[in-house]
Amino acid sequence: MIPALLAQLGLPLLARLLAGALGRVDHPAAKAASEALEQAGATLPPERIAEANRHLEAMARLESEETRETIREVNASLRAEAASEDAYVRRMRPTFGYVMAATWAAQMGAVAWIVVRAPSEAASVIEALGALSVVWSVGLSVLGVYVYKRSADKALASGNPQPGLLDRLQRAVEGR
């Protein structure tokens, strides 16, 4: 976004805008930067300005291509999940996530209720939550594995398989 804006505005205009803005700041460093920008804008030869603008345009093109590629990958993975014929595969991960969220909400609601209705029991209830940390860590770990594995499945279905551990090790050894 910034490279595209800079490519449209051009370096001299940007330097003048920044110099003007910094000139209004009551600080010696800002004043010095403002003067340096004004001098640079006045002394840069047109070839250098054209070169800087070409560079900014190239940066804008690269950023645009990167954004397009990201959108393409997201769309491909969404299509792969939607195209799955197995209803369990398509719905298992979200269902488990919703169950985890509902369970968490119920637990926190119950704790809040106890804290409000029986403040004398609040300390022991909150302490008991600590005993549930292992259960929650297991559930959240399972959810994390589901998300990770489903992402790999979607990548495979979209034609972009994720390299396995041995593939990554081989590439590291070969220096690729």
Contact 143, 96 (CB under 8 A): yes
Query: Both 18 and 96 in a single domain?
Result: no
pLDDT for 3 equals 56
Which of 27 and 46 is assigned the larger pLDDT? 27
User: What per-residue confidence (pLDDT) applies to 92?
Assistant: 75
Tell me what pLDDT residue 2 has. 58
Same domain, 135 and 167: yes
Q: What is the pLDDT of residue 10?
A: 66
Q: 150 is in which domain, residue-wise?
A: 86-174
Same domain for 152 and 90: yes
In the chain, alpha helices (H) = 2-9, 11-23, 28-43, 46-83, 87-117, 122-131, 133-157, 165-174
Token couple for 31: 């004043």
Q: What is the pLDDT of residue 108?
A: 92
What are the Cα distances from residue 72, in Å, to 45, 60, 67, 160? Answer: 41, 18, 9, 12
> Are 107 and 29 in the same domain?
no
Q: Do 91 and 65 reside in the same domain of the chain?
A: no
Dihedral of CA atoms 114, 116, 121, 122 in degrees, nearest 10, equals: 90
Q: Based on the domain organization, do 54 and 129 belong to the same domain?
A: no
What's the pLDDT at 107?
A: 93
Q: How confident is the model at residue 39 (pLDDT cuts 50, 70, 90)?
A: confident
Dump pLDDT digits (tens) for 108-163.
999 999 999 999 999 999 888 888 888 899 888 888 887 777 777 777 777 777 77
Q: What is the pLDDT of residue 124?
A: 92
Q: What percent of the chain is predicted at pLDDT more than 70?
A: 84
Residues 98, 34 share a domain: no
Within a domain: residue 136? yes
Mean pLDDT rounded to a whole number for the chain = 79
Per the structure, the count of domains in the chain is 2
For residue 75, tell me if it sits in a domain: no
Q: Is residue 79 part of a domain?
A: no
Cβ atoms < 10 Å from Cβ of 60? 18
Copy the structure tokens of residue 161. Answer: 């398989």
**Residue 77 resides in a domain:** no
106 and 166 fall within a common domain? yes
Q: Assess whether 52 and 106 both reside in one domain.
A: no
